[in-house]
Amino acid sequence: MNLDHKLKVKILFLFIFAFFSITGVAFAKETSGNASGTISCPRGNSEKGELSFTAFMKDSPVYGSWEVVLDVSSDDKTSNGGYLASGKIDNKNYDLEGKETTSNICGMDKKANISIHGECGNNGKIQVRADSGWKGTFEGNIDCG
């Protein structure tokens, strides 16, 4: 009978360990994607470009990176990029915030706070806004989970 009790305790311990392991994985969220769209500058001009980003969140905070590259014909690609450090991610949408570490778009060399938010899925719509005044509207395939 004593051996039976020890076996029950071991099974209960394994069940609890497995439960916390599975639920820990369930709280991990990530989003990533590539999208095409238009970048609007504070002076009124606009450019075509590509956005790529990836973000990961387990509990808190968000970690990730992003980059916007203009579609220019020269070999010298103009881009803005940086890191993501806060926000939220779920299965339908995401709302991310971060900082620019590279800023060459719109003739601005001012690094700003940025926000990226949009929808998950095929043809998801994405909005990017920078405190310095440039913004982008993109559409592409965004994975969330």
Residue in the block written with tokens 């609007």: 40
| DSSP alpha helix (H) spans, the chain | 2-26
Domains held by the chain: number? 1
Residue 82: inside a domain: yes
Residue in the block written with tokens 């220019």: 72
Residue 8: inside a domain: no
* Count of other CB atoms within 10 angstroms of residue 111: 16
Contacts of 68 (CB under 8 A, 6+ apart): 39, 49, 50, 51, 79, 80, 81, 105, 128, 136
Tokens representing residue 50 in the block? 């590509």
Which whole number is the average pLDDT over 108-126? 90
Residue 115: inside a domain: yes
* Domain assignment of residue 108, given as a range: 29-144
Total-model pTM: 0.76
pLDDT digits 0-9 by tens, 37-58: 999 999 998 999 999 999 988 7
Q: CATH number for the domain including 117?
A: 2.40.128
Residue type, 78: T
Residue 94: inside a domain: yes
Residue 104: inside a domain: yes
